[in-house]
Structure 1
Amino acid sequence: MITTVNWIAAYNHLFPLLDRQGAPSYCSGPDFLRMCQQVDLGIPNYEQLIESRNRQRKSTSRKSFYWDVIWGMTEPQRFQLFRLFIDKLSPYAPSEVDLIRTTVFDGGYAVPIALVPADLWSSEKLNISLKEIDFAIDAQQFNRATTLAYTCLEGLYKAYVQKHVPSKADVTDLLTLCKVVKEDVSEKLRSRGAFPEQIVNAIPTLTHAVANSRNGFSESHFADDSQKWLATFSRDLINSIGRLLLHFI
């Protein structure tokens, strides 16, 4: 069943780390706002915020305005912000960060993002989409996550074909693109000697899984936790295939 995050509990786990004087986890007011601006450029700087709160006769204590800034964000933005803090604080307070991770993400870890080199076809779109898969899952937008997964695969395959098999650059169907990529990767590896063919043979199987999750497995087929599993599985497949192809492109 889809659950709602207890943001108050999440914040009560986070703030003591940010308030730990003299510790690497300490986060000053200006530093906190700069972190928030990575998620929302509309967040004011420290001087602007304090001036505004003084005019409104609101508390300027760090605990008060940190919470107000977080609560003023959209829920997807809060997910992004907590992910940033989890990544930043994990080396300094692993057990406390695990509590935050469990509260916000139900203990889940994000899969490392496979970035596409900037000189390739639509690389900016691909980079953004790969990052947004995790954000969509965090926000429980599972259909969006599987659609993004499909888009990422399509872009990765087109980038590969454009570089290595330009004669097939007009191919648009995902499964046909997959076949072209798989055959070319196999040929390149075979020219170097023996290689684990099962890994390359898995590319079309994984692609069919992502294509089916996008085209046929709607919420009417997979509800709540099953739909989350499907979106997460698709994300993992994209990153696995992406890392393999990036060795060549």
Structure 2
Amino acid sequence: MMNWTAPYNRLFSLLDRQGPTYHSGPAYIRIAQQVAQDIPNYRQLLDQRASLGQSSSRRDFYWEIFRAFSDEQKLQFFKILINELEPHAKDEVDGIRALVFGGGFAVPVAVVPLDLWNSEKLNNSLRDIDHAIDAQQFNRAVTLAYTCLEGLYKSYVRKHVQVKADLNDLMQLCRAVKDDISEKLKTRGPFPVEIVNAIPTITNAVANSRNSFSESHFADDAQKWLATFARDMTNSIGRLLLHFI
């Protein structure tokens, strides 16, 4: 579990500083509501705290809102604020990023259309790969990448290759997807065959990594480079498939 006190204190010093990084109570709450929609608005919050005899100090209620978040929500909260504050305090933000995210930048995740098979699971898996890496849970990130690819391929097959909708093996699903995309592209004219042929190779690499380093096999063996590779490849394949789904 991460010790959040040091990064939060650095963050608060920026939010409390007069100038472009300053965040008033309403501004802070609006950002917090992006992470947890059940947080009351500024006036409601102050009224609630007054009725309970609690402090109305920004330092107190800012911290209490943040402390109530789950670790995943805390990471999301930091990510939102870091992106907002960086243009105005780059050096300080870089220091906070190094504490929370190891100095890394997460790639954008693919968004799966809501009308597809198990879209909620797919969206959560894609987003959680980034969160797992941010939290240095590299084994979990690799496992989530495998799960996400499996879901993407099942969605594609369900929509475009219905005769093979009963497939469950990841590599069989992958080949069915690759073959169907190749046939679609052939009707449009010449295309880089090597790109499409790379899909099974990349999928097999992620699958083998998951089989060797998943949470159910080894503890703490997957390194950041492997988790990052699995995430990036999953994200790239997902974006490619979304052109055809």
TM-score by length of 2: 0.86
Distance in 2 separating the partners of 1:127 and 1:94: 31
- 1:87 corresponds in structure 2 to 83
- 1:127 corresponds in structure 2 to 123
- 1:165 corresponds in structure 2 to 161
Distance in 1 separating the partners of 2:198 and 2:235: 14
Question: How high is the sequence identity, in percent, across the aligned residues?
Answer: 64
Distance in 2 separating the partners of 1:52 and 1:220: 45
Distance in 2 separating the partners of 1:105 and 1:58: 33
Distance in 2 separating the partners of 1:7 and 1:147: 26
Tell me, yes or no, if the aligned pair for 2:142 and 2:206 is still in contact at 8 Å. yes
Tell me, yes or no, if the aligned pair for 1:6 and 1:104 is still in contact at 8 Å. no
- 1:112 corresponds in structure 2 to 108
- 1:146 corresponds in structure 2 to 142
Distance in 1 separating the partners of 2:68 and 2:158: 44
Q: 1:109 to 1:222 in 2, by over 3 A?
A: farther
CA-atom RMSD, angstroms? 2.5
Distance in 2 separating the partners of 1:91 and 1:124: 33
Question: Structure 2, unaligned stretches of length 5 or more?
Answer: none
Tell me, yes or no, if the aligned pair for 1:30 and 1:45 is still in contact at 8 Å. yes
Tell me, yes or no, if the aligned pair for 1:133 and 1:148 is still in contact at 8 Å. yes
Aligned-partner residue type, residue 9 of structure 2: N
1:232 partnered with 2:219: no
- 2:241 corresponds in structure 1 to 245
Q: What secondary structure is seen at the aligned counterpart in 1 of 2:213? A: coil
Aligned-partner residue type, residue 100 of structure 2: V
Distance in 2 separating the partners of 1:119 and 1:41: 24
Figure out how many residues of one structure are paired with residues of the other and give that number: 245
The within-5 A match list for 1:1-249 is 5-23=2-20, 25-54=21-50, 58-218=54-214, 224=220, 226-249=222-245
TM-score by length of 1: 0.85
Once the two structures are superposed, residues 20-44 of structure 1 have per-residue CA deviations (whole angstroms, 9 ceiling, x without a partner) of 4452x33221221232233234544
Q: What secondary structure is seen at the aligned counterpart in 2 of 1:124? A: helix
Distance in 2 separating the partners of 1:165 and 1:220: 32
Aligned-partner residue type, residue 174 of structure 2: C
Once the two structures are superposed, residues 167-216 of structure 1 have per-residue CA deviations (whole angstroms, 9 ceiling, x without a partner) of 21221211100011111222222333332222212111111122122223
Structure 1, 183-192 or 202-211: larger mean CA deviation: 183-192
Aligned-partner residue type, residue 94 of structure 1: K
Tell me, yes or no, if the aligned pair for 1:137 and 1:231 is still in contact at 8 Å. yes
Distance in 2 separating the partners of 1:221 and 1:113: 27
Distance in 2 separating the partners of 1:222 and 1:86: 33
Distance in 1 separating the partners of 2:180 and 2:91: 46
Tell me, yes or no, if the aligned pair for 1:5 and 1:103 is still in contact at 8 Å. no
Tell me, yes or no, if the aligned pair for 1:6 and 1:103 is still in contact at 8 Å. no
